[in-house]
A = this chain, B = another copy of it.
Amino acid sequence: MSLEAVSRAEITPAEARRLFRDGLVTPTAGWSAGYAQANLIIVPKAQAFDILLFAQRNPKSCPILGVLDAGETSGPLLAGGDIRTDLPRYTVYVDGEKVADPTDITEYWRDDLVTFIVGCSFTFEAALQEGGIRIAHIDQGTNVPMYRTSVRCEPAGEISGPLVVSMRPVPASQIPDAVRITARYPAVHGAPVHIGNPEELGISDLSRPDFGDPVEIPEGYVPVFWACGVTPQAAVMESKPSLAIGHAPGHMLITDARDSSYLV
């Protein structure tokens, strides 16, 4: 099954979730234009306080858009949907090790699992493009490059880990606009955390991202780094709760919330 770009952009979130539920597997970039896509992190209730506190202490990387109570599989961000089936692909961690990347997590589901829906920078990419800023990974048809950094997040209880950042190359003259535009979306990572000098973040080679795909950085462009919603998954890998489930990189939850609802 395939869909033209125009169809992907125009499909409603509910229709997109239904297609994924019915078995379609695809990255979600470009789908359901104008609607917020989101990162996912699901943990047992025993770890839920630490994850929520970790998010509260690291709001730039872990902006919480919604939380489903223990055992709940739907909520207002995915009306009529099912969090166990409505993403195209998931990542399952047991004791911090990735053990599977299924397209459905029904077999892993337990009544004590709490779902955190976390903002995603896809939301401000449309605003950047409207502001005349090209997005390299969209132009190149790849997933945004993401890097584990040497910057530590504020820990919370048993959860700790590094800040993960996404990177977009921006022409030097447009960096002020990129900062200004994204700062207006604090619920989806907001302003960049670092501009230029990847070494200071402990990133030695931009061409080898830890998640996603590398992008070419044209002459005169500067790498600009935003906090990334994969940060909770990096924390899970380090902190090793008995079970955790995230989205697969680039395979996001498409929510019913409008991108514009996160504009301040």
Contacts and interface: CB of A to CB of B under 8 A. Distances in A.
A156 B185 CA distance: 25
Given A69-B157, A157-B69, A53 B56 contact: no
A263 interface: no
Contacts of A53: 52, 67
A203 interface: no
A43 to B, nearest CB: 11
Interface in A48-67: 48-49, 52-53, 56-57, 64, 67
A49 to B, nearest CB: 4
A240 interface: no
A45 interface: yes
Contact of A56 (B45, B52, B69, B264): B52
Interface string A149-178: 000000011000000000000000000000
Nearest to A52: B52
B52 A45 contact: no
B67 A57 contact: yes
Contacts of A264: 264
Contacts of A57: 67
Contacts of A156: 67, 69
Contacts of A64: 56
Interface string A21-58: 00000000000000000000000010011001100110
A255 to B, nearest CB: 16
A45 B67 CA distance: 19
Interface of A: 45, 48-49, 52-53, 56-57, 64, 67, 69, 156-157, 264
14 contacts: A45-B49, A48-B49, A49-B49, A49-B52, A52-B52, A52-B53, A52-B56, A56-B56, A56-B64, A57-B67, A67-B156, A69-B156, A69-B157, A264-B264
